Amino acid sequence: MSVRIYLAEDILTAYLSGELDHHVVRTIREEIDEAAERAHPAVLVLDFRDVTFMDSSGIGLVMGRYALMQELGGELKIENLPNHIKKVMRLAGLERLANMETGGVRK
């Protein structure tokens, strides 16, 4: 699991890749939060296109980043969800929290 974080204008995008579970989520969370707190972006984008596995630890990650962006006065978007991940997110009702792009995966 790794995360690459880019800032463009006031949009901070975190590209996640690999398997997202309880074991790796702490490091990922810390890296994203550090970047967001430094940049105070208007939008934080979590891009899931390269996430090959996710359990409810990923839901915790999204909920926590939603809370962080509320605090920073910004918006959270989740993009490029593969179907298996969409399934877990739907279960949590996350589409009500974050702006969830429902289209297919952009490659």
Tally of CA atoms within 13 A in the half-sphere of 87 that contains its CB: 6
The rounded distance, in Å, linking the Cα atoms of 53 and 17 is: 9
Q: Which is nearer to other proteins, 42 or 50 (CB)?
A: 50
The stretch near other proteins (CB under 8 A) out of 7-15, 40-48, 72-80, 87-95 is 87-95
The stretch near other proteins (CB under 8 A) out of 42-50, 51-59, 71-79, 95-103 is 51-59
* 1 to 40: interface string for other proteins, x by CB under 8 A: ------------------x-xxx-x---x-----------
Report the candidate in 27, 91, 31 with the shortest Cα–Cα distance to residue 55. Answer: 91
CA–chain centroid gap for 23, Å, is 16
Q: Could you tell me the two tokens for 100?
A: 């969830």
Residues that bind other proteins (CB under 8 A): 19, 21-23, 25, 29, 53-57, 59-61, 63-64, 84, 88, 91-92
